[in-house]
Amino acid sequence: MKTIVIRPEIIAYHNSAFRDPKPPVNWRLVACVALLPAVALVGWLAGRSTGAPARGFPGTAAAVAQASVAAQPAPKIATVAADGSIELQSAIEQGLINADFTANGRDRLDAELSNPTAKPVTVRVSFGQMFESGRNSVVAARTAQTEIAPGKSAALAVQTVATRSTNRVGRSSYRLSTKIAPKLDLLLAYAQDHPDFSVAALQTAALALTENLTLSSVCKFTTAGSELPSRFDTTAFRAGTLDLLAALGALREIGVRDRDLAMTVDPQLKIEAMIDPVSRAAAMRYYGITSATEWNYWKSQLLEGEPGLRHYALYGIARFYPEIALDMLPKWAREKRTTQIFRLTAVQALAETQRGEALPVLSDLVAELGRNTELGRAALNAAQLLDATLRKAAESARTVAFRGAVAQGAF
């Protein structure tokens, strides 16, 4: 009997063939497929040389031409306004002008525009147009436009606002941006109808919308929590009290709720605005305080206000109710049961009365409290400040200014 020996490699071959059967390769078909592009190319060239489509490939040249045209973007048409002006971005894209931009990262951008064409071009920079430089971003706050003669150049100054408080303030080159700032749309529209809306107020309102900054980040006066470190240096974006109120008033007019603004959370803004003679009228309008209710405001602030701010009311009383202050403040200064901060404020506030009657009162307090005590030194400093203020006011009253001449003393 013949013994059949099956080698392991034969078993492996048959097993693999069974698991993954592969049909035989049709080499003729492969060759035809490989030659197909070459045949197509020859046919296209033949059609191109005869001016007719190649036989077997009807319309090939025309189809290729149509596809090439379709792939090219359609030229953009410059948008011309009713007054004949063209938007800055559209004018640049059309090659109607060349432009370079320099800005300070806050409130001003200077555009150097040149007209290489043979026709005059009126270029408009609409409010809301954004410009960028690195991480800096500014937006045109008010619409501006200028006409550029053929082959000439022109400079255009554009008022801007920073969209973020981290902008580095300083002159540098900027580029046109395609970004938008929808949060600022209503505010910028409001600014177009209010030419008296100050640059600082507009900037403050813009940052309130984009970053919702706290009062300590935007005010110039020292706040009670100013000792707390801030994440960013916002010195370049601080505004006066009147501008802060103008910003809040504008935001209220465009529908922003007071309670949604971080600036309004700190109660110090209200009393600072009421103390400042420059912003007092605006503060009364914003907070709904009338001449009939103002005294009640100061009284409630003094007796029931924020503990860390109650003594501020003494300054307001001294400035706007000096007769009451001349009778009230010396008593507060002498009362030993009153806390030191109130006694010290009462002494200093006497100088805010701007009344000569306060000078002998302060002199008496210096003698009673002692020159070497904190209260005594405060009384002495207040007396010196008041005396200097009264002297300056008297000199101004005796001065008469003549047009085109140096001021002369009165007879």
| Separation CA 26–CA 7 (nearest Å) | 31
- pLDDT, residue 16, reads 41
- pLDDT, residue 225, reads 62
pLDDT in tens, 25-39: 554 544 444 555 554
Domain residues of the chain, as ranges? Answer: 79-180, 181-289, 309-393
- pLDDT, residue 223, reads 87
pLDDT in tens, 52-101: 444 443 444 444 334 433 444 444 444 555 568 999 999 999 999 999 99
Residue ranges for the chain with pLDDT beneath 50 = 1-22, 27, 29-33, 39-78, 402-411
Exposure on the CB side of residue 387, measured as CA atoms within 13 A: 11
Contact yes or no for 104/169 (Cβ under 8 A): yes
Q: Which of 187-207 are b and which e, b meaning 16 or more Cβ less than 10 Å from the residue's Cβ?
A: bbebbeeeeebebbbbbbbbb
Task: Describe the chain by its helix, strand, coil percentages, rounded to 5.
Answer: 50, 15, 35
CATH architecture of 79-180: Sandwich (2.60)
| Separation CA 128–CA 186 (nearest Å) | 10
Query: For residue 314, which of 404, 377, 378 has the smallest C-alpha distance?
Result: 378
- pLDDT, residue 411, reads 29
Amino acid at 43: G
Residue where the block lists tokens 């207040």: 382
Q: Within the chain, how many helices (H) and strands (E) appear? A: 16, 11
- pLDDT, residue 82, reads 59
